[in-house]
Amino acid sequence: MEVLTSVLVTPERGVEGDCRGIIKPGGKGKRQVSLMERADWDAVMAELGRQVPWWERRANLLVDGLDLPQTPGQLIRVGPVLLTVTAECDPCIRMEAVAAGLEAALTPDWRGGALARVLEGGTITVGDRITIEEP
């Protein structure tokens, strides 16, 4: 994992440098971008009595001050980038290697985050405005 202050996000490749964002022939781009709420991560860490860096979740973007939509088709704008929510980002067994109980703690109420497809690309920079848009 690499923590960046800005990154290019495109409809063809998702987050630059993350192979999961590339749309394969016949694919739908369901996992181009993964987003997680800081409040959810902080709550999980408090429950587990741990202090693990958020990037251990392996999410592309950590958002602060916004309740991520939990409905596929909802639109999220991050700076110039427009995303559409495709699904919940279910935590995997790999989370148990990070901290015991982490997979279960991330499971309820989309705490593991949301997956999205890129509709409009651009460069996202830390501190960019993030908003929910009308579909």
The mean pLDDT of 105-132, rounded to a whole number, is: 96
Residue (of 115, 44, 47, 116) closest to 83 by Cα position: 116
CATH number of this structure's domain 6-133 = 2.40.33.20
pLDDT in tens, 32-67: 999 999 999 999 999 999 999 999 998 999 999 999
Which phi and psi (to 5°) does residue 20 adopt?
-70, -15
pLDDT in tens, 4-43: 899 999 999 999 999 888 888 888 889 999 999 999 999 9
Q: Structural domain boundaries of the chain?
A: 6-133
Q: Give the pLDDT of residue 23.
A: 84
**Least confident window among 15-29, 49-63, 68-82, 83-97:** 15-29
What DSSP line would sit under 18-52, residue for residue? -GGGSPPTT---TTSEEEEEHHHHHHHHHHHT---
